[in-house]
């Protein structure tokens, strides 16, 4: 709705078109361990979870090209088949608070939402056979905290971990004990939950077991052990009530040996990434893309893995079907039938190149530019206004970004926590 209103008003360029395919799957027993074992035992295969696949237009066009080339190569010689074999090193982002419609409080108490997130993750790696290294967990607000809890649950129970995590304004401390809940209350869009309110989200989430679970690592990840987690990109706003716990989470994870990239955006409120008219929002998504494309590469030399043929076929069936629709940047549906989607070659100039049998490498290079944000052609002067404060892990480098609106701070893992800091996860 926000994107639609801004598109109508012409305030900012809206994101590019995307292919959106609804998906529903049944939750089945998976012999889950730990805190979810009892919940897993109750599943009889009748309960359903829903979500959607969202594929950017350029990625969709490239996938279409690869699938068509693969289909064509079946009738050719083995040598020609190898020549037409596309590169299938795709990453999948499991976005919690968007891609997965997990159960919410008060109808479902803790750890019900964690069970749904775990079920969605295992559907990707077990049912669709997507390598866990190719998966990036992402989430915002409570979904960011749930994404972190999911990684901790997987680690604690010796399940395969995803390749990385992207946490946007994650809510990781349900005790609300950080100072920024008071100091930023006048600026942020998030109200302070009242203890006696029957709609208090914490009470609704934890129910009658509030005292038991308030500091449980899967409810308030800040109080958990962060060792052994995959690389994390953690973004927060300088004006949000969760600022302090987000900052402390980044410090605690860094001290635990996790590769952390922490970004604090000046004058930004809770989940500011949802307001694309803000410079901070555009920079945050540019930084997230750079984190995936550049930062993870040297850290994960064996990831992403090449997808097997059966994985490609399963993904094709899930994404390329009659329920798929093209959603424009302003949030409105433009096409709903598969045949119309496949014939819609005017979405981008890339489509014209497809008709000329553009090579896979050329088409892949087209996909390198983000289609959801306008990149600055000229970087501002480094002495410009500061809109983003960045703290990195390990090497402290900052390879890209509009330097005129960035101030860099580096907190190496060897540093002790500041005395005024309160760690949350």
Interval 73-90: pLDDT, tens: 656 555 555 455 555 578
Which one of 270, 290, 312, 391 is the catalytic residue?
Answer: 270
Sheet (strand 260-265) strand order: 92-96, 135-140, 164-168, 232-237, 260-265, 388-392, 406-410
The pLDDT tens digits of the residues spanning 15-48 come to 567 888 899 999 999 999 999 999 999 999 999 9
**What global pTM score does this model have?**
0.78
Q: Residues 149, 198: one domain?
A: yes
- 404 within domain boundaries: no
String of b and e for 147-179 (b: at least 16 CB within 10 Å)?
bbbbbbbbbbeebebbbbbbbbbbbbbbebebe
Predicted confidence (pLDDT) at residue 227 exceeds the cutoff of 90: yes
Q: Residues 139, 249: one domain?
A: yes
- 252 within domain boundaries: yes
Q: Tell me, yes or no, if 371 is annotated catalytic.
A: no
Predicted confidence (pLDDT) at residue 340 exceeds the cutoff of 70: no
Predicted confidence (pLDDT) at residue 162 exceeds the cutoff of 60: yes
Q: Residues 312, 299: one domain?
A: no
Look up the domain containing 344 and give its range. 1-88+308-372
User: Which among 272, 290, 305 is the end of a domain?
Assistant: 305
Give start and end residues of each alpha helix (H) in 256-303: 279-290, 296-299
User: Which among 267, 283, 305 is the end of a domain?
Assistant: 305
Q: Residues 71, 140: one domain?
A: no
Closest of 1, 63, 118 to residue 364, by C-alpha? 63
The CATH code of the domain that includes 275 is 3.40.50.1820
Q: How many domains does the chain have?
A: 2
* Bridge partner list, 23: 51
165 three-state secondary structure: strand
Q: Residues 28, 126: one domain?
A: no
Q: Residues 147, 269: one domain?
A: yes
Q: Tell me, yes or no, if 141 is annotated catalytic.
A: yes
Q: Residues 209, 69: one domain?
A: no
Rounded Cα distance between 241 and 217, Å, is 20
Q: Tell me, yes or no, if 240 is annotated catalytic.
A: yes
Which one of 52, 66, 240, 245 is the catalytic residue?
Answer: 240
Which one of 141, 169, 220, 371 is the catalytic residue?
Answer: 141
Report whether 25 contacts 48 (CB < 8 A).
Answer: yes
Predicted confidence (pLDDT) at residue 288 exceeds the cutoff of 70: yes
- 106 within domain boundaries: yes
């Amino acid at each position: 709705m926000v994107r639609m209103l801004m598109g109508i008003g012409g305030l900012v360029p809206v994101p590019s078109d995307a292919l959106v395919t609804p998906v529903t799957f049944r939750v089945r027993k998976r012999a889950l361990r730990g805190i979810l074992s009892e919940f897993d035992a109750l599943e009889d295969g009748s309960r359903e979870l829903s979500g959607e696949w969202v594929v950017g237009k350029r990625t969709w066009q490239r996938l279409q090209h690869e699938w068509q080339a693969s289909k064509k190569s079946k009738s050719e010689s083995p040598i020609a088949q190898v020549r037409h074999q596309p590169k299938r090193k795709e990453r999948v982002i499991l976005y919690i608070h968007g891609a997965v419609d997990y159960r919410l409080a008060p109808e479902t108490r803790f750890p019900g939402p964690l069970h749904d997130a775990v079920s969605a993750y295992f559907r990707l790696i077990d049912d669709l056979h997507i390598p866990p290294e190719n998966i990036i967990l992402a989430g915002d607000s409570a979904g960011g905290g749930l994404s972190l809890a999911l990684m901790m649950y997987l680690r604690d129970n010796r399940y395969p971990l995803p390749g990385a995590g992207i946490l946007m304004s994650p809510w990781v401390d349900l005790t609300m004990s950080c100072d920024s809940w008071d100091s930023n209350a006048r600026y942020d869009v998030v109200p302070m939950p009242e203890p006696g309110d029957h709609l208090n989200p914490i009470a609704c989430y934890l129910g009658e077991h509030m005292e038991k679970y308030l500091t449980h690592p899967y409810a308030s990840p800040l109080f958990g052990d962060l060792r052994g987690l995959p690389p994390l990109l953690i973004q927060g706003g300088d004006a949000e009530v969760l600022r302090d716990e987000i900052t402390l989470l980044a410090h605690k994870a860094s001290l635990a040996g996790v590769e952390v990239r922490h970004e604090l955006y000046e004058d930004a409120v809770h989940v500011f990434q949802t307001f694309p008219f803000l410079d901070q929002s555009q920079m945050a998504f540019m930084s997230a893309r750079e984190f995936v494309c550049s930062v993870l590469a040297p850290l994960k030399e064996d990831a992403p893995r090449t997808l097997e043929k059966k994985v490609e076929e399963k993904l094709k069936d899930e994404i390329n079907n009659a329920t798929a629709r093209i959603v424009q940047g302003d949030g409105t549906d433009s096409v709903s039938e598969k045949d119309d989607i496949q014939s819609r070659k005017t979405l981008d100039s890339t489509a014209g190149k497809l008709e000329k049998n553009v090579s896979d490498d050329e088409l892949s290079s087209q996909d390198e530019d983000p289609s959801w944000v306008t990149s600055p052609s000229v970087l501002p002067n480094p002495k410009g206004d500061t809109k983003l404060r960045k703290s990195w892990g390990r090497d402290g480098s900052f390879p890209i970004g509009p330097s005129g609106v960035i101030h860099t701070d580096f907190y190496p893992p060897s540093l002790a926590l500041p005395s005024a800091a309160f760690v949350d996860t």
